[in-house]
DNA sequence: GCCGTTTTCGGCCCGACTGTTTTCAGTCG
């Protein structure tokens, strides 16, 4: 067997790279062939790409453990695709793809990234003008050569230049927390319009993804026209991209796109299902509908011409023989099968957290006193917080030494005497050193109510060393919780390399709790790690990482992340009252 | 190319918006 695993194989066979190969195959199959079946073969590659991109396990690992047979167990991967994956893992290339690329040598990501430019356009542009990339396209548009291409006009040529500019500004997906206030503000304006019954941000916002590509508003109203009027003329709108009787598309001044769908009340459920997605989840539902002799779209569930459901989402799912599924689970990653068996887990609810176990004060890098943080938490509806200031080796953050931590613990006890119906726990965010040891002595940590530990330095150790560093911290009997275990900052830096599966296993063996840091820049653990952890029976906590009382609002995003990882209330220890929480820790 | 509680062959989600389409193709949600 392939012991020694990947040693001899190409280092680039990461899931993301394999998915990219599949997408390129999908694109070139669609473009390059006249075969009427080409679009379906193309879609097969795209489906495989999506599956692989969101697979928690490494495809290269699967291959090294179980070979082709292992690959075939991946949904949407059959003999042909498995062989191509094998070839890519072994050689770093896929011959068939190289051949296709030679025939249409274009930068797919660049050209496809431009709105309104799809496969047909890219092929046409290459055939007529030898356009290979963005720079070529910009040049021919500026030179006025584009208008000569069939299907193009002077106006389209002009639009193209605008779209190229927009693409070049390169707006990545937005972090949900950063635009949440804007999302909610527009949602409220829409809901207050006369004649509007419901207004909600659907799409990836309703699924509470950590980043969102655009904002998708669904509104029910008997007369869509005034809603469309308002939406396209809001002060936030920079440009109207499209507008029809049911849908409108705008670009907001903040650089993000917003879509609007307006439907009558009797289509609320089906439209909400459609517009919440995910696409993959919806396609699966629509296939189920077909197999039951039904048709599902945003307007309802139909048997022939007759509408049989659509007023509520529950009704839509029921018509398909399914239990209702929480939006956060709708990613086509096993939730539909559970719903068919009426086994959808009861996810941890928003607003059920009783405490927050990562809270900073001005004594390290926070901006409020311990008492202000405590009163803020109480006002937010919490019953307890752990004050987790940084420790001495994190000098930049004003970390405390052992002596100072003990003094702080004493002050916290005095404060608790003054606080009614609220408890502050003495704790710390202890810095994990390069070798996995802690920068505070055990005899100090023993006097705290609980201890969190985290990595804040040496991010570029090799994966084995980084993993062992966290493992050593988890094995330390003083450490109750590992904070932000992967260290990632969304859209800023990847986490340090770490074998999260091993960390999860060790957490299980040592009764160490893992954190979901709810700060919207972190959301760490991320959704799929949450799912892995709870599957193994590891307990989690959801913390705000607050540095000011207003930051308790971040907890919502942490709960969302837990729900996206299918966590129930039993999995989340800070849904417990403080005494029971402390008993549950090691 | 993938896949099978009606199929190992014959299907593959389905509709809105744009443009110049005169009855639909391309792109996107
Ligand atoms: N049935 C069907 N629904 C789709 C398709 N594409 C998009 N949708 C639905 C599901 C999506 O969640 C919803 C909004 O589309 P978006 O492109 O905005 O995707 P979404 O919001 O999920 O992700 P995003 O963060 O915006 O990239 O529209 C499709 O091809 N078929
Ligand atoms: Mg969206
Ligand atoms: Mg959208
Ligand atoms: Zn930290």
Give the per-residue pLDDT at A32: 82
Task: Give the bridge partners for A524, in sequence order.
Answer: A517
What's the whole-number mean pLDDT along residues A108-126?
93
Q: Which of A86, A71, A19 is nearest to A49 (CA)?
A: A19
List of residues 6+ apart from A529 with CB closer than 8 A: A485, A486, A500, A504, A565
> What residues have their beta carbon closer than 5 A to ion ligand 4?
A 454
Q: Whose CA is nearest to atom 26 of ligand 1?
A: A213
Q: Report how far residue A68's alpha carbon sits from residue A81's, in angstroms, rounded to the nearest whole number.
A: 10
SS3 A304: coil
Residues above pLDDT 90, as percent of chain A = 91
CA distance A86 to A95: 12
pLDDT tens-digit profile of A139-172? Answer: 999 999 999 898 899 889 998 999 999 888 877 7
Q: Which residues contact A256 (CB under 8 A, 6 or more apart)?
A: A171, A174, A179, A182, A214, A215
- Angle in degrees, CA A277, A279, A285, rounded to 5: 80
The reported pLDDT for the residue numbered A12 is: 64
- What would the pLDDT profile of A266-301 be if each residue is shown by its tens digit? 999 999 999 999 999 999 999 999 999 999 999 999
pLDDT(A1) > 90: no
A26 lines ligand 1 (CB under 6 A): no
Residue A519: which residues within 8 A CB-CB, separation 6 or more? A177, A544, A545, A551, A554, A557
Contacts 24+ apart (CB under 8 A), A498-504: A498/A463, A498/A466, A498/A467, A498/A470, A499/A463, A499/A464, A499/A467, A500/A525, A500/A529, A500/A532, A501/A532, A502/A467, A502/A471, A503/A467, A503/A470, A503/A471, A503/A474, A504/A529, A504/A532, A504/A533, A504/A536, A504/A538
User: Which ligand number lies closest to the CA of residue A173?
Assistant: 1
- Interaxial angle between packed helices A119-129 and A15-32, expressed in degrees from 0 to 180 and rounded to the nearest 10: 70
Q: Closest nucleotide to residue A248 (Cα to C1')?
A: B17
CA of A135 to the centre of ligand 1 (A): 29
Q: Which residue is nearest to nucleotide B15 (CA to C1')?
A: A297
The pLDDT value given to residue A33: 76
Indicate the helix (H) or strand (E) that contains A355. Answer: strand A355-359
Using the predicted structure, report yes or no on whether residue A310 has a pLDDT greater than 60. yes
Q: Does the CB atom of residue A284 touch ligand 1 within 6 A?
A: no
DSSP codes, A411-470: HHHHHHHH-SS-EEEE--EEEB-TTS-BSS-HHHHTTSS--EEE--S-TTS-HHHHHHHH
pLDDT band at A56 (very low <50, low <70, confident <90, very high): confident
Nearest to A474 by CA among A441, A505, A519: A505
Tokens read off for A205: 């916002």
- The whole-angstrom distance between residue A168's C-alpha and the CA centroid of its chain comes to 24
**Which residue would you say has higher pLDDT here, A389 or A10?**
A389
Give the residue-averaged pLDDT of A508-522. Answer: 98
Taking a C-beta distance cutoff of 8 angstroms, is the pair A200, A217 a contact?
A: yes
The pLDDT assigned to A229 comes to 96
Q: Whose CA is nearest to atom 23 of ligand 1?
A: A204
How many CB atoms neighbour CB A402 within 10 A? 17
Residue nearest to atom 3 of ligand 1 (CA): A279
* pLDDT at residue A396 in the model: 85
From the options 1.20.1560.10, 1.10.10.60, 2.170.150.70, 1.10.150.110, give the CATH code of A11-171. 1.10.150.110
Tell me if A174-262 shares its fold with A355-584: no
What atom in ligand 1 is closest to the CA of residue A203? 21
Distance CA A547, CA A549 (A): 7
d(CA A529, CA A513): 13
Q: Give the domain ranges of chain A.
A: 11-171, 174-262, 270-344, 355-584
Output DSSP code: residue A118: -
Instruction: List pLDDT tens digits, range A547-582.
Output: 999 999 999 999 999 999 999 999 999 999 999 999
The fold for domain A270-344 equals Beta Polymerase; domain 3 (3.30.210)
| Nucleotide closest to A41 measured between CA and C1' | B1
**Positions on chain B within 7 A of a protein C-beta:** 1-3, 6-7, 11-20, 25-29
CA distance A558 to A567: 11
Quick one: pLDDT at residue A388? 98
- Determine the Cα–Cα distance for residues A541 and A356; give it in Å rounded to an integer: 8
Tell whether the model's pLDDT for residue A244 goes beyond 80: yes
Architecture (CATH level 2) of domain A174-262 = 2-Layer Sandwich (3.30)
Indicate whether A490 pLDDT > 50.
Answer: yes
Q: From ligand 1's centre to the CA of A165, what distance in Å?
A: 24
pLDDT of A246 over the 80 cut: yes
What's the mean pLDDT in A29-37?
83
What pLDDT is stored for residue A3 in this prediction?
A: 38
pLDDT, mean over chain A: 94
Q: What is the ipTM of this complex?
A: 0.95
* Cβ atoms within 10 Å, residue A46: 18
d(CA A105, CA A170): 23
Residue with the two structure tokens 């459609």: A274
Is the pLDDT higher at A397 or at A182?
Answer: A182
> Which atom of ligand 1 is least distant from the CA of A173?
25
| Closest protein CA to C1' of nucleotide B21, residue | A151
CA of A1 from ligand 4 middle (Å) equals 42
CA dihedral A78, A79, A80, A84 (to 10 degrees): 100
User: Could you tell me if the CB of A327 is within 6 A of ligand 1?
Assistant: no
What is the CATH topology of the domain spanning A355-584? TIM Barrel (3.20.20)
Bridge partners for A221 per DSSP: A196
pLDDT, tens only, A80-108: 999 999 999 999 999 999 999 999 999 99
Protein residue with least CA distance to atom 19, ligand 1: A203
Query: Which residues on adjacent β-strands are paired with residue A239?
Result: A251
> Rounded mean pLDDT of A419-448?
97
pLDDT value at position A7? 44
Question: What is the reported pLDDT for A492?
Answer: 92
CA atom of A536 to C1′ atom of B11, Å: 40
The kind and range of the H/E element at A282 are: helix A279-291
What residues contact residue A522 under an 8 Å CB cut-off, 6+ apart?
A484, A488, A489, A490, A545
- The answer on pLDDT for A8 being more than 60 is no
Axis-axis angle for helices A38-53, A15-32 (nearest 10): 170
Return phi, psi of residue A421, to 5°.
60, 35
Q: How confident is the model at residue A11 (pLDDT cuts 50, 70, 90)?
A: low
């Amino acid at each position: 067997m392939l012991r020694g695993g990947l040693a001899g194989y190409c280092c680039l066979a990461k899931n993301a790279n394999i998915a990219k190969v599949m997408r390129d195959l999908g694109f070139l199959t669609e473009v390059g062939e006249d075969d009427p079946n080409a679009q379906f073969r193309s879609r097969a590659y795209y489906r495989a790409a999506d599956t692989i991109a969101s697979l928690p396990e490494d495809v290269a690992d699967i291959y090294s453990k179980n070979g082709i047979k292992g690959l075939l167990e991946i949904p949407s991967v059959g003999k042909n695709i498995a062989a191509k994956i094998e070839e890519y893992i072994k050689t770093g290339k896929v011959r068939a793809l190289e051949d296709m690329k030679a025939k249409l040598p274009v930068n797919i990501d660049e050209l496809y990234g431009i709105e309104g430019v799809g496969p047909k356009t890219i092929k046409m542009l290459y055939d007529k003008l030898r356009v290979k990339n963005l720079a070529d396209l910009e040049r021919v548009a500026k030179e006025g050569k584009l208008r000569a291409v069939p299907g193009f006009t002077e106006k389209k040529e002009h639009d193209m230049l605008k779209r190229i500019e927009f693409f070049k500004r390169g707006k990545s997906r937005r972090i949900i927390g950063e635009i949440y206030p804007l999302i909610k503000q527009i949602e409220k304006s829409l809901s207050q319009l006369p004649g509007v019954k419901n207004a909600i941000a659907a799409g990836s916002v309703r699924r509470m993804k950590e980043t969102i590509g655009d904002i998708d508003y669904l509104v029910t109203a008997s007369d869509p026209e005034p809603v469309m009027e308002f939406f396209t003329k809001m002060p936030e709108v920079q440009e109207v991209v499209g507008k029809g009787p049911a849908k409108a598309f705008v670009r907001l001044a903040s650089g993000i796109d917003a879509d609007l769908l307006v439907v009558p009340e009797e289509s609320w459920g089906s439209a909400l299902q459609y517009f919440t997605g995910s696409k993959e989840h919806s396609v699966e539902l629509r296939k189920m509908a077909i197999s039951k002799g039904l048709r599902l779209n945003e307007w309802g569930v139909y048997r022939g011409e007759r509408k049989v459901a659509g007023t509520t989402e529950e009704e839509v799912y029921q018509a398909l023989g399914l239990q209702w599924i929480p939006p956060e689970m709708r990613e086509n990653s096993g939730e539909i099968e559970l719903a068919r068996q009426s086994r959808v887990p009861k996810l941890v609810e928003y607003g059920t957290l009783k405490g927050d176990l990562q809270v900073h004060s001005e004594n390290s890098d926070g901006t409020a006193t311990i008492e202000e943080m405590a009163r803020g938490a109480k006002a937010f509806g919490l019953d307890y917080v752990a004050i987790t200031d940084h420790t001495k080796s994190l000098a930049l953050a004003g970390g405390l030494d052992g002596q100072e931590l003990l003094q702080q613990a004493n002050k916290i006890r005095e404060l608790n005497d003054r606080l009614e119906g609220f408890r502050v726990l003495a704790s710390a965010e202890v810095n994990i050193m390069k070798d996995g040891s802690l920068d505070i002595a055990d005899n100090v940590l023993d006097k705290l109510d609980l201890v969190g530990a985290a990595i804040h330095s040496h991010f570029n150790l090799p994966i084995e060393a980084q993993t062992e560093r966290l493992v050593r911290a988890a094995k330390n009997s003083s450490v109750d919780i590992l904070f932000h275990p992967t260290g990632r900052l969304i859209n800023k830096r990847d986490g340090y390399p770490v074998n999260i599966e091993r960390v999860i296993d060790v957490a299980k063996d040592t009764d160490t709790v893992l954190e979901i840091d709810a700060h919207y820049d972190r959301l760490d653990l991320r959704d799929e790690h949450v799912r892995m952890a709870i599957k193994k029976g590891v307990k989690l906590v959801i913390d705000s990482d607050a540095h000011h009382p207003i930051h308790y609002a971040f907890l919502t995003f942490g709960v969302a992340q837990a729900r996206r990882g299918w966590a129930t209330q039993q999995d989340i220890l800070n849904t417990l009252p403080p005494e029971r929480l402390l008993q549950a820790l090691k």
